[in-house]
Amino acid sequence: MQPATATLAADGVRILLAGDWVLAQAPALAGQVERLRRQVGASTVLDASGIGRLDTAGASLLLQLDEDSGRTDRFDGLGAHQRELLATVARAMRAHAAAPRRPNGLIELLANAGKAVEHFWRDLTELVGFIGLILSALARSLVLPQRWRVTSLFFHIEQTGLNAVPIVALLSFLVGAVVAFLGATILRDFGATVFTVELISYSFLREFGVLLTAIMVAGRSGSAFTAQIGSMKAREEVDAIRTMGLSPVEVLVLPRVLALLIAMPLLSFLAMVAGIIGGAMVCVYTLDISPGMFLHRLQEMTQVRHFWVGMIKAPLFAFLIAAIGCLEGFKVSGSAESVGAHTTSSVVQSIFVVILVDALAAIFFMEIGW
């Protein structure tokens, strides 16, 4: 391969082009072309007779030398094939001369911020609309028992409820133990270690039992709903359901929502029990509180309303997680990558909404004195 060169001849009006103008030479050529193009005027002769091989990259650089005027007759000494190649490249470049430029950074930042706000608002209205859709489908199918999808319902209860039992129980048990340790350490300074029992029971009955479950369910089942419905959407299976005169909401969404409405309170109850057992273990082994004393104090000091404060939130969270999971699934478009993006978005949104609602509920229950 001959090294490609572009040099200004001694007479100052001719530019001599020589060598193989191919892609491999382009890095070296780009600099030379950049330097020379300022000296190219209307009267400059571009002598291309020294050019050996020419490919599209080389042709593109040749045109750049002539300020992209696209006139192939500006180059002397090109072969017929090379001239044709140059003309083809010039045509392709001309179409792209007016390619849109990127806007500057600040405008892009503002535009992105605007897009994000608009996106958030659209997500919110879509979610509210989707919840309405689910509720109306639910109301319609409740009065028609022949349209209940019992098999699907039990399948999803098994998937989201039964299969989640070990992980939810273990996690709550461990968090219960950690809370007990924390309480014991701080309360010991006040000589009030016995209050550890209340700390554990209050926190697990009111908040942690249901919140830990909701986070686990959002990560496990909400994401699964998005992935399942999303891949069906990507393969046009959802459209197939629609063309058969069935409602995707009724076939795909209702069984999932109902399954989670049933499974989640059960899981929350399990989480409360496991967390309290975890705390009790710490009390028994590191504080001088016997199991009998722990139970006695639990019954005496903790009112049952704390249990209801926690439990009442479980179906609410279940509904939100299922609705967000299914809605994100329906938003999937075409590619496999989109399934992944919406699954992530589904988990983030579910956990965000769950914690937001939990915080609002905490204020509410405090105000009504529960």
Partner 1 sequence: MSETVIEVRGLRNQFGEQVVHENLDLDVRRGEIIGVVGGSGSGKSVLLRSIIGLNQPRAGTVRLFGEDMARVSAARRNAIEQRCGVLFQNGALFSSLTVAENVSVPLVEHHGLPHALIERLAALKIGLAGLPPEAGAKFPSELSGGMVKRAALARSLALDPDILFLDEPTAGLDPIGAAAFDQLILTLRDSLGLTVFLITHDLDTLYTICDRVAVLAQRRVLINAPLAEVERQDEPWIREYFQGPRGRAAEHAALTAKRI
- Residues lying near partner 1 in the complex (CB under 8 A): 22-24, 26-27, 30, 55-57, 60-61, 64, 81, 84-85, 87-89, 91-96, 98-100, 333-338
Nearest CB to partner 1, comparing residues 34 and 158: 34
User: Minimum Å distance from CB 60 to partner 1?
Assistant: 5
Exposure class string for 92-102: b at 16+ Cβ within 10 A, else e: ebeeeeeeeee
**In angstroms, rounded to a whole number, what is the distance separating the alpha carbons of residues 256 and 305?**
29
- Give CA 145 to chain center in angstroms: 37
**Minimum distance between the CB of residue 154 and partner 1, rounded to whole angstroms?**
36
* Nearest CB to partner 1, comparing residues 56 and 152: 56
Which residue number, 92 or 109, has a Cβ lying nearer to partner 1?
Answer: 92
Closest distance to partner 1 from the beta carbon of 231 (Å):
15
User: Of the two residues 87 and 312, which places its CB atom closer to partner 1 in the complex?
Assistant: 87
Closest to partner 1 by CB, 1 or 135: 1
Q: Whose Cβ is closer to partner 1: residue 68's or residue 207's?
A: 68
Beta strand 5-8 with 14-21 is antiparallel
Minimum CB separation of residue 230 from partner 1 in Å reads 13
Nearest to 310 by CA among 257, 265, 249: 265
Least distance from partner 1 to the Cβ atom of residue 91, Å? 8
- CB closer to partner 1 out of 85 and 323: 85
Which DSSP category does 334 fall into?
A: S
Reduced to 3 DSSP states, what percent helix, strand and coil does the chain have, rounded to the nearest 5? Answer: 75, 5, 15
CB atoms < 10 A from the CB of 238, how many?
Answer: 18
Q: How far is the CB of 47 from partner 1 (least distance, A)?
A: 23
Shortest Å, Cβ 27 to partner 1: 5
DSSP-assigned letters across all residues of 31-71: HHHHHHGGG--TT-EEEEEEEEEE-HHHHHHHHHHTTT---
Residue of 322, 321, 307 whose CA lies nearest to 269: 307
